[in-house]
Amino acid sequence: MKIFAKLLIGVFRHVKTFVDSEMERLEAAASGRSARSSGRIWLRDVRIPPLLLDAAVAGLLVLQSRFYAADFFHFISLVVYSVGMYGVFVYAVSLADPEIRSETSSYTLLIFLLLVNLYTLFIAEIYGAAYIFSTTAVVFTAAMLFPKKVVSVFAVFSLLVCRSFLPMRHWYFLPGYVLSSFAAIILASPVTSRKAVISAGFKLSLVNTLIFAFGKELFGIKGDVGVDIYYALGSGLAAAAAGLIALPYLEAIFGRMSSITLVEMSDTNKPLIKRMMVDAPGTYHHSLITASLAEAACDAIGASGPLARVGAYYHDIGKLFKPEYFIENQIYTGNPHDTVSPTMSSMVLMAHVKEGLELARQHKLNPKIVEFIGEHHGESLILQFYHKAVTKDVNVEEKDFRYDGVRPRSRETAVVMLADSVEAASRSLTALKPSAIADTVKKVVNNKFVDGQLNDAPLTLKDLEIITEVMTRTLCGILHVRYQKPDDEPPLSAVDAAPAAPPAE
């Protein structure tokens, strides 16, 4: 017993040392702005290391094993099984989505849903209602917030983690849980409206009823068939209702956005978008084109296109404070930058990021959308006014003309940064030829890469190549690039009238 105690203390010491080192590394990364802003829970700058979350869950599983264990050896077996299965769950989730553990808020939400699933199943078992498919509601909600691969891993391994603590009277309920969970994933993943959620709930009720009916006949389960069928029929609708009720709170607390919210946010009748349409029409049009470029590029590299589209809609809302200082809104007015110093001009331009963040907080935008506002310029140099200032004073410092923002830390925000710059650069094109557009897009992407603005974004060189190609093709379509007829080409009528050349012998 003493040897085991010493071994356990040694393991805990090593874990504590590892956790402390990870905490120091993450704190240093946060001070250097390399930690992802999606790690924010609520709207405050709260970051929780994923390793600390895993340690807390493992500790909870050990504690729960202590209450369930009949003796010491049973306790050890429960700890080994539950903690080991949780480790497999973490590994499988990391394989399904390599970025999820770096997104603290998303990973925290997934762990929270795991614990909810554990205790929901436990409560259902206490009241003898295992056949209600209580876990379906949790999986249904998760399917609206996470990709299918992640939810599939969650559905299977969360049940396996919970299995050791559930005094199930009938082990054969487990396959029913799994089948019901996968039905919930298939039905809930594509929903984009609240009406579709209710429809998915109806379909899930029918599926759960079939699963229970077949299980009852297959295993000969006894009981009140009528009551059991009513429970099964209501389970899908209950899961849909629980998902609809919980979704706004989970999104507000953890900052995760569902497809339903993204569709609602993309509505151009939202107050901020309508205000931009009236007060800054040039910025509004710029945002629409940026959104098209960003969505196409994100879809091509496997990122979230809808999220990039919505983020692009809102990324420039800070220009609403002084729209006349931005060139896209200077159609009928003069350029106010002609009457102020380059330093003042750069300060006005840089201020639109901070003003956009303040406006986003006033309107309580989701933290995921706020990321696009704060990161779409990163620490870029305002080249035009920097060169203008250098011609007047060679002692000008470059840092005074760089945005005091945060470099993009997700694929979506990085793509919006590139789309924003590409769209702005395309306005200076005089010849709308595919070759000229391709050169412009390549130049913009290369400049951002060389300047280090993409250093914190999880983009590969292959991703940048795909982004360049897709944005070039999309921009050619937006600008309606057509075949440029050479000056010496004969008119079409002359070509039609010319006799056909004799066939070669």
Note the pLDDT tens digit of each residue in 415-454.
999 999 999 988 888 777 888 899 999 999 999 999 999 9
503 phi, psi to nearest 5 deg? -65, 145
**Residues 6 or more apart in contact with residue 461 via CB below 8 angstroms:** none
H helix runs in 402-433, sequence order: 411-426
Q: Exposure string (b/e) for 70-95, b if CB count within 10 Å is 16 or more?
A: eeeeebeebbebbbebbeebbebbbe
Write out the H or E segment, with its range, that includes residue 207: helix 194-219
pLDDT (0 to 100) of residue 17: 55
pLDDT higher than 90, residue 383: no
Q: Coil, strand or helix: which one is 185?
A: helix
Residue 39 confidence class, pLDDT cut points 50, 70, 90: very low
Which phi and psi angles does 269 have, rounded to 5°?
-90, 5
Tokens of 220: 């000969």
| Identity of the residue numbered 339 | T
pLDDT band at 25 (very low <50, low <70, confident <90, very high): very low
Q: State yes or no: pLDDT of 311 exceeds 90.
A: yes
Predicted pLDDT at 2: 52
CA dihedral 416, 417, 419, 420 (to 10 degrees): 110
CA distance 98 to 112: 19
Q: What is the pLDDT of residue 499?
A: 47
β-bridge mates for residue 381, sequence order: 402
Give the pLDDT confidence of 203-230 residue by residue, as tens digits.
998 888 888 777 666 655 555 545 566 7
What average pLDDT does range 60-83 have in this prediction? Answer: 84
Contact 297/309 with Cβ under 8 angstroms?
no
Better pLDDT: 89 or 32: 89
User: HSE on the CB side for 393, CA within 13 Å?
Assistant: 10
The pLDDT of residue 166: 63
* Chain mean pLDDT for the chain: 79
**For residue 1, pLDDT beyond 90:** no
Report residue 137's pLDDT band, with 50, 70 and 90 as the boundaries.
Answer: confident
Predicted confidence at residue 445, as pLDDT, reads: 94
Q: What is the pLDDT of residue 11?
A: 46
pLDDT at 15: 46
pLDDT at 487: 55
**Tokens (6 digits) for 34:** 């390399």
Instruction: Read off the pLDDT of residues 113-123 as tens digits, 9 standing for 90 and up.
Output: 988 888 777 77
| Region 303-311 average pLDDT | 92
**463-505 per-position pLDDT tens digit:** 999 999 999 999 988 886 554 555 555 554 444 444 444 444 3
> Angle at the Cα of 443 (from 442 to 445), degrees rounded to 5?
65
Average pLDDT for residues 70-95, to the nearest whole number? Answer: 87
| Mean pLDDT lowest among 7-21, 214-228, 281-295, 337-351 | 7-21
**How distant, in Å, are the alpha carbons of 110, 120, 150, 264, 368 from that of 254?**
10, 20, 17, 18, 10
pLDDT band at 165 (very low <50, low <70, confident <90, very high): low
Residue 462, pLDDT score? 93
User: What DSSP element (H or E) covers 68?
Assistant: helix 50-68
User: Stretch 309-333: mean pLDDT, rounded?
Assistant: 87
The predicted pLDDT at position 159 comes to 79
More confident residue, 18 or 326: 326
